[in-house]
Amino acid sequence: MGIGRVWVFGELAEGKPTTTTLELIEGAKSLGASSVEVVLHGPEVDGALGVLGGTGVSKVYNVGDLGDALVGAPIAAAIAGQIESGNSPDSILFGATYDGRDVAARLSAKISKGVITNCIGLEAQGDTIVASHALFGGSQIAKSKFTGAGPWLFVVRAKTFSAPESLGEASVESQSISVPDLGATGAAMVINRHVEERSGPKLDEAPIVVSGGRGLGQSEHYAMIEELAKLLNGAPGASRAIVDAGWVPYAYQVGQTGKTVKPTVYIACGISGATQHMVGMKGSKNIIAINKDKDAPIFTICDLGIVGDVHKVLPALIDALKNR
């Protein structure tokens, strides 16, 4: 029977499928699914159909505009409704996004099926999907699979698959699916949306990421990270230690409990390289580390290591770049 039908929980931003969504579609195709179908929501689904058709998906399920409701409960209920009425996929892929995890978790409990999370690879082996996971800072890879009947739910980390470089347009079948009555579970409503202005590329899409850690000493010194990132047209990131300390928001965090990044160059400044952090950046094409402790684990995975004080190296580097 092969891998069968694979659904993707897709998300739109400014009317277009997000990078994560495109990655998941590529992933579903790479599994050799008999059909790849995407579940979408929001007021802009119809406008995105052309691009989705261009990715080669065979169907789009439109849950419609959810208004101000948080999406976890309604999308999970809409998918569960399809499964109960006999229109069941064999597997569903979710991005490890704020909403993707909510939908996967709700759906898992609703249909009493487990969910395999933090996948950094999915491959078809016969009729089974094998998921890979990074353990202990990425020093080991565990492989897991479901032992029971599907639908199998997988939450996949960003950058596991590559989104296509360019997108064409093609028509695709679209079907509306409805949200059943949610009772109390659907009662969480957004009353205000705050957009924090951030210049430069997004953390998980930037070609260069400059991250700071506890070695910066104090929160004011994070400004050096932001300045360097800006000079390199990159994105600033952070280790968990300084997010926990409240220096920068959670959205900056690179690591196991944060974002996975795979930039062309990752510059780790004052980061020792705890397993928690390494798991999120080890896949970078090139790694530069600046740290005063020559025994720091970060130096075991870097392509260029500067054993030195970030408070000296970073200002000199910033000056040199400014003077070019």
Partner 1 sequence: MNVAVCVKQIPDPAAPGSLDPTTKNLVRGGKLILDDSDAYGVEIALQLAESSGGGEVTLVSMAPNGETSGLRTALAMGASKAVLVSDGKLAGSDALGTARVLAEAIKRVSPDLVLAATESTDGYTGTTPVQVAELLGMPSVTFAKKIEVDGNSIKVERQTEAGYDEVSCPLPAVVTVTAGVVEPRYPSFKGIMAAKSKPVDQLDVAGLGLSDSQVGSTGAGQEVFEVQDAPQRDVGEIVEDDGEGYAKVVSFLENLKLI
Name which position in 48, 76, 122, 261 contacts partner 1 (CB under 8 A).
Answer: 76
Any contact of residue 23 with partner 1 (CB under 8 A)?
Answer: no
- The total of other beta-carbon atoms located within 10 Å of residue 302's CB is 21
3-state secondary structure of 290: strand
Q: Select the span of 35-43, 53-61, 143-151, 170-178 touching partner 1 (CB under 8 A).
A: 143-151
What is the smallest separation between the CB atom of 180 and partner 1, expressed in angstroms?
A: 14
Any contact of residue 230 with partner 1 (CB under 8 A)?
Answer: no
**CB of 234 within 8 A of CB of 209?**
yes
- Minimal CA–CA distance to 26: which of 156, 173, 176? 156
Residue 15 falls in which region: left (phi positive, over 0), alpha (psi -120 to 50) or beta: left
Q: Select the span of 23-31, 51-59, 165-173, 288-296 touching partner 1 (CB under 8 A).
A: 288-296
Any contact of residue 73 with partner 1 (CB under 8 A)?
Answer: yes
3-state secondary structure of 89: coil
Name which position in 85, 147, 166, 199 contacts partner 1 (CB under 8 A).
Answer: 147
Contact characters 78-117, partner 1, x per CB under 8 A: ------------------xxx--xx-xxx-xxx-xxxxxx
Taking the least distance from each CB to partner 1, the nearer of 35 and 185 is: 185
Name which position in 70, 124, 167, 170 contacts partner 1 (CB under 8 A).
Answer: 70
What is the smallest separation between the CB atom of 162 and partner 1, expressed in angstroms?
A: 18
Tell me the residue ranges of DSSP E strands in 41-127: 59-62, 91-95, 115-119, 121-125
Distance CA 169, CA 174 (A): 15
Taking the least distance from each CB to partner 1, the nearer of 1 and 189 is: 189
Query: Angle at the Cα of 290 (from 244 to 212), degrees rounded to 5?
Result: 25
Taking the least distance from each CB to partner 1, the nearer of 49 and 242 is: 242
Taking the least distance from each CB to partner 1, the nearer of 127 and 173 is: 127
What is the smallest separation between the CB atom of 7 and partner 1, expressed in angstroms?
A: 18
> What tokens appear for 43 in the block?
């007021």
Any contact of residue 256 with partner 1 (CB under 8 A)?
Answer: yes
Name which position in 84, 169, 244, 293 contacts partner 1 (CB under 8 A).
Answer: 244
**CB of 200 within 8 A of CB of 233?**
yes
What is the smallest separation between the CB atom of 308 and partner 1, expressed in angstroms?
A: 3
Distance CA 37, CA 10 (A): 10
C-alpha distances in Å from residue 297, one per residue of 186, 232, 270, 294: 45, 25, 12, 9
**CB of 263 within 8 A of CB of 234?**
yes
Report 34-63 residues binding partner 1 (CB under 8 A). none
Name which position in 126, 196, 199, 322 contacts partner 1 (CB under 8 A).
Answer: 196
Taking the least distance from each CB to partner 1, the nearer of 39 and 96 is: 96
Any contact of residue 223 with partner 1 (CB under 8 A)?
Answer: no
Any contact of residue 300 with partner 1 (CB under 8 A)?
Answer: yes
Q: Select the span of 35-43, 59-67, 218-226, 292-300 touching partner 1 (CB under 8 A).
A: 292-300
Distance CA 155, CA 157 (A): 7
- The total of other beta-carbon atoms located within 10 Å of residue 148's CB is 7
- Minimal CA–CA distance to 256: which of 133, 121, 144? 133
Taking the least distance from each CB to partner 1, the nearer of 66 and 274 is: 274
